[in-house]
Structure 1
Amino acid sequence: MISSSSPAIGPDGTVYIGSGSGALFALGHVTLPSPPRNLQATTGDGYVNLSWEPPEDDGGSPITEYRIYKSNSSGDEAFLVSVGKKLYYNDTNVTNGRTYSYFVTAANRLGESPASNEVRATPITVPTAPVNLQAISGDGYVNLSWDPPEDDGGSPVIKYVIYRGNISGYEAYLATVSNVLCYTDTSVINGETYYYYVTAVNDAGEGPNSTEVSATPLSVPSAPRNLRATSGDGYVNLSWDPPENDGGSPVTGYRIYRRTSSTNETLLAVVEDVYYYNDTTVVNGQKYYYSVTAVNDVGEGPFSTKASATPEAMPSDMSQKTPGGAHLRGPFFRCPC
């Protein structure tokens, strides 16, 4: 039965309008709207933004509202919200990394349109910082290692970015690696301190900095230079110059090694940071071979070049008595007449 209110829509969608005498006159035919067009979804950190265009055909009656449907799986959407006549909606009731399906319908006085195109969206954000960054240094390198972020932001980590500086807090880009958890920096100088942090990157972008770590690459010293040996009666005097390179750590001492032609080289003595040693544990007439190494906090460096010497007793004719009986040690030379 058609209502006598003016205007009225019949069951078949015909619009009627009443006259003053109570008669109804048909004005036209109303249909359901066509679907909203061009539904699109953009995502961000904790949201899905939906937008669409009005239907091509409102069915002969103005659009009164748009209805949004949502699901965690395609084809199983349920009513989410009505947004009136707006052409957009921001869904913040989402979880990063989870995929959602949406469609929209339009409604007029007759009813609800068919569904729009379906869209799927996965809200994501950048990863949190890598954790447990560590630096281990050696001779000409710094080894970095870290653990992945606690939260990948809903999108897998695809790479890591390493930053380095010579001053804490002033790091600059150093390198990018794929989804691995280590990096070896060989562009370093022994003895210099370096500061590092690492970031993680996913499809949403680059995350925050890890904690900062520092490392100072070191090595053992190079060999002492210019080893010299001079001998006398019951002694061999050794002297040398320091290494050209202390390995980035100050030399703390030297080790003296000795051998003869019939014995193996053995450690003779350890001295502090001095450049000489007097060996008095020798036998006159025996030839001795010496080498020296330098030591720092990292360890012992390579051998110096060898030096040799043969201690000799002073010849007997080098000693003469004075008239008072005292011995003088020569040599003595006769003055020409």
Structure 2
Amino acid sequence: MISKFKTKFLLAFLVFVIGFFYVDCGKVYAAYSWKSLGTAGFSEGPAYNTSLSIYNGTPYISYTNDGMYETVMKFDGSSWSPVGTTGFSTDMECASFCVDNNGIPYIAYIDESVWPGPLTVKKYANGSWETVGTPEVINYTVNFTSLYIDNGIPYVPYTHRNRFGSGITVKKFISNSWQEVGEISHGSNGGYEADPISLYVNNGIPYMAYTDVANGHKATVAKYDGSTFQPLGTALSQSNAYYTVIRVDNGTPYVAFMDGENNYKPTVKQLVYSLDLTITTATAISDINVANGTNLGTVNLPQTVTITLSDNTTTSAAVTWDNNSTPIYNGNTAGNYTFMGTITPPVGVVNTNNITTSVKVVVEAPTVTVSGSPTNATVTIKNGRATIRFTPPANDGGSPITQYTVTVSPGNYTVTGKASPIMVTGLRSGINYTFILKAINAAGESEGVSVSN
């Protein structure tokens, strides 16, 4: 739970941000003053995780009390009244609240009443709070959530951490199910600060602002390119930054944050599009070795490649692979298969030189073992000649059987053959013979099969 100090700071910061993004600069006022809407301190107890939303001039506020009960209130012009039941949900963590452009309140949170706590979104409709879809189980420790409603579609980004690493995941509710939009991950060596992340959807394109721990706690913005979240320019801050908030106006992103470089005072930045950088080179991708018999669909071709730009900096770019390799991929044939990839530049970068990338998939030689033994072996002896008939082994050990051997006892001599039957001559009457039949491949001899007269 966020500390009381952080809550107070966040409230003050939100006042600044709301003023920045929504003040009407066309009006002139003789003086400013603040007045309370309704009774000051109208909750039944301490309120944490407060969140404010305005719809058609009506303020809505959500907050969590000491017992982790969530309440949403709205101002009716003279007093605050609850939206639905007071404390309508228990054991809530990381709650985030907003009202959509149709006046429908939504709230997203982690349900701490069970483990692992599922991501839950509720909306107020038909006089009660109802769950949107099925709560999404998250097998991580969630630090923070955010919520944005775009044309009735809820988007929920959340920061998470487990023993394998940390990151940010964005999900949206569409077609009656929660679907992952994208993820930003830093693995075990990085992470994201457990402070508010901010998401804004402009013309169906999600933008996200967050504190990037792996990059010195700097404020960072990413834009969804249709498949992944790509960094939008470089880090916004020179030092640590917290409480990032993003808005997009006419295609231009604006970001406000608490700026550590300036004594934690608010800073607002606007993305300025400069001349595009160009890709100069793409870093070679290491070979991918796969076992013999590997299907192409299970070969993990890399999704990104490191590129060098015209300003000598490096970044990553998405890759689309052509499945028609050279030669055409055959997972059952050992060899080298080269795949070509088309590079999709990140925002602000162009590929005027049509630089591509490639990766070599090396299919290893099959693992060879001795074959199984021949089966259904029989022997017939007539006129000093034995005829041994048999069925080839069901398992050739991964290597073709090159020949069969028959060792005769007594006498201890061996004859060979390519297939059934195998003839042994020079036998004498009145002697009991034993014949040991074996199959041979590149790995050696199989277990022998004994037949006798």
Q: Which has the higher helix share?
A: 2
Higher relative contact order (CA 8 A, sep 6+): 1
**Same fold judged by TM-score > 0.5?**
no
Q: Structure 2 length normalisation: TM-score?
A: 0.28
